Chain A
Amino acid sequence: MEVVRSKLNGDGGPGEATPDDFRIRQLRARDMLRGDIPDEELQQYVEERVLTTTLDKAAAWARGNSLFPATFGLACCAIEMMSLPGARLDIARFGFEAFRASPRQADLLILSGRVSIKMAPVVRRIYDQMLEPRWVIAMGACSSSMGVFNNYAIVPADKFMPVDVHVPGCPPRPEALMHGILKLRDKIQGNAPAGWRDRYDARGTEEVLGEADLPGANAVNVFQSGETQRA
């Protein structure tokens, strides 16, 4: 395969999603949380997400209740993902038990396991080959944030593909993954749970970055990342 060694926050495969496209989408999502998105962008952003017409609501209801996950077993989380359709924890109750092998028939990609740098272009190509609408769950600590192995060989999923739900755990219990899938279902059907700032009414407590002095910059015991101990 032509391994295009571009800096890995971009994507190796073809497709209009260029690297800065994710970065913009991520930054916009973050700004949304902070509530400082200009008007017309906010309009376009909401339009893309919120379903207004009843036909869309019906379509979202149908899609939410019949997500076909693509069998994407990478490592240990795959074994826990495999026990999802098992007898004890039957996700057939929610309509997700049809694990499809090819990306053409799947609309949910569960990244279960560690994504190594040799596997990243393959994962990105498979995500490109999935048909719209498609969603991605980063299962386990390794695909969400390199998890236990913060070293040269692992790439967090956010670096090269948009992820909808992160399921924490190493490996997460099957119930945790099922909870993640149900959260994704709520997100698809338009009633995504509000962020923690709204739930706890913590608006206005965002850290002020930039010119204000970094909190704890000169505190004795606060080590900046990378420093082992203060000189």
Chain B
Amino acid sequence: MPDATGLELIAQDLRAAGNDDGVLGTSYFREEATVEVAPAFLRTAAEALHAKGYTFMASCHGVDYYPEEPRLGVHYQLLDMPNVDRICLKARVTIEAPTVPSLCGIWPGANFPEREIFDMFGVIFDGHPDLRRILMPEDYEGHPQRRDFPVGGEPILFTYNEDKVPGWTQ
């Protein structure tokens, strides 16, 4: 893990690479380094980190920070295999403008995970080869992983509430 100072150095390089307001912040929590960047700046930051040695993309997942704005977050866990270094590249977007540049160009392995984030959260990755739903049926409305999407399922039927459930004893 790059320690706190290493993280700051990386952040400075990123600021130097892109324009100054690209890097929004860094956080070092439980020995894990996270760099938060503006969505527009994501691709250049990813290329810079790729050049710095983080050539392997371990995982890429979406998060819904429901009460806080901007709501949808996309995390890229990058890994530097030779000296076993992990860093997380984070970008946050709102629901109204959920577009994030796709990183399939740098890591072809991001194809499926990005499709899953689009399927589950509705984040649109521009530049993705074929952005379609991957887990839900193709014509499913709504993005299930969002915090405001109901968990669904059926109320549990007991004898005393059997007739309350519509359609059970019609």
Contact = CB atoms under 8 A, between A and B. Distances in A.
A226 B137 contact: no
A150 interface: yes
Interface stretch (A95-103, A169-177, A209-217): A209-217
Q: Number of contact residues on A: which range applies?
A: 20 to 34
Contacts, number: 54
B136 interface: yes
Contacts of B135: 118
Given A3-B138, A118-B136, A209-B163, A150 B153 contact: yes
B155 interface: yes
B164 A225 contact: yes
B139 interface: yes
Nearest to A223: B161
Interface string A3-45: 1010001000000000000010000000000000000000000
Contacts of A217: 160
A224 B161 contact: yes
A117 B151 CA distance: 14
A79 interface: no
Dominant SS at the B interface? Answer: loop
A152 B161 contact: no
Dominant SS at the A interface? Answer: loop
A152 B149 CA distance: 10
- Kindly name the residue among A5, A151, A225 whose own CB sees the greatest number of chain B CB atoms within 10 A: A225
Contacts of B139: 3, 5
Nearest to B163: A209
Nearest to B165: A225
A207 interface: yes
B151 A152 contact: yes
Interface of A: 3, 5, 9, 23, 117-118, 146, 149-154, 207, 209-210, 214-217, 222, 224-226
